Structure formats: structure tokens, C-alpha cells
Structure 1
Amino acid sequence: MKFLIVLLVVAFGVWLWRSRRPAPPPAKPRARNALPAEMVRCAACGLHLPLADAERSPRGVYCSKEHRRQIEG
């Protein structure tokens, strides 16, 4: 009988402690207007990378200046 009373007191304490905790902050909503980056393929090695990071020339798109020099001379 003592065990049951102790268990009830502990359960009540846990319930009381959990009910008094502040609510967690709401999660930040994802940006819905963000568009995925356009991906391109390097003409030398085939690596896919964002167009904004690519090395562009009239003869192709490259992942680095070194690959551009290898192909274009």
C-alpha cells in the first residue's frame, strides 16, 4: 500500500513539473519562395554544380578555371 501511495505522489509531481514548463518555441517556417538553384554540368569532368558557381565561357560551362584552360587552351 505504501508503494502505491509513493508511486501516486511521484506521478503527481512529474505531472505538475511537466505542466509548469514553458512551451517550446514554434519552429521557423520554411521559405516557400526560395527556388532551387539551376544546376549545370562541367564540360571537362562532368561534375554537376550550381550555375552561380560555374566558370562560364562561350564554348561551355566548367567547374574551375583549370578545367576551362584544359579544354579551351
Structure 2
Amino acid sequence: MKYLLVLLVLVVAVGIWRGKRRAEAEARSPATAPPNKPQTMVACAHCGLHLPQAEAVSDGAGRFFCSLEHRQAAARADSAH
């Protein structure tokens, strides 16, 4: 009878310990973020690469580029003509 009582106390203690660990793990896991909203995609006027408009470099004339280097290359090409 004594061993049964000790076993019961151990089972309850392990159950409480596992429950706390599970609660801590759930608290540490990041909440699922809401899905990102769709973004407008634009094509680089120099190479044609498609990228989000927020990441593109604009030349002020309504053209978008994937990098500053491509904007400068297009400006050099325009001034050569």
C-alpha cells in the first residue's frame, strides 16, 4: 500500500511537471502572424526582373529598377542616345 501511494504521488508530480513544460513551450512559441497583404510587382526597366514595388528604385519618371546600379546604367544609356 505504501508503494502504491508513492507511485501515485510520482505520477501526479510528473503530470504537473509536464503540464508546466507544455504551457511554457506554448508561451515561448511565436503567435502565427497574419498573412502578408499582396504587393504590387514591377519589372526592372533595365533587366526585366520582377520585384515588389516597395523594394524597387524609381527614377522619378515612372520607371522602376531592381538596383541603383541598373538605374544609373539606364541613365547612362539614355544620355548616350
- TM-score bracket for the superposition, by shorter chain length: 0.5 to 0.7
Check 1:66–1:29 CA distance in 2 against 1; reply closer, same or farther (3 A cut).
Answer: closer
- How many Å separate the matches in 1 of 2:31 and 2:65? 36
Tell me the residue number matched to 1:4.
Answer: none
Aligned length: 60
After TM superposition, the score normalised by the length of structure 2 is: 0.51
Moved more, 58-67 or 22-31: 22-31
Unaligned runs of 5+ in 2: 1-6, 77-81
Residue 25 of structure 1 aligns to a residue in which SS? helix
After TM superposition, the score normalised by the length of structure 1 is: 0.54
Shift of 1:40: 1.5
Tell me the residue number matched to 2:4.
Answer: none
- How many Å separate the matches in 2 of 1:44 and 1:59? 13
Question: Of Structure 1 and Structure 2, which has the larger fraction of its residues in helix?
Answer: 2
Unaligned runs of 5+ in 1: 1-8
Percent of pairs identical after alignment? Answer: 33
Tell me the residue number matched to 1:29.
Answer: 32
Question: Of Structure 1 and Structure 2, which has the larger fraction of its residues in strand?
Answer: 1
- How many Å separate the matches in 1 of 2:39 and 2:62? 22
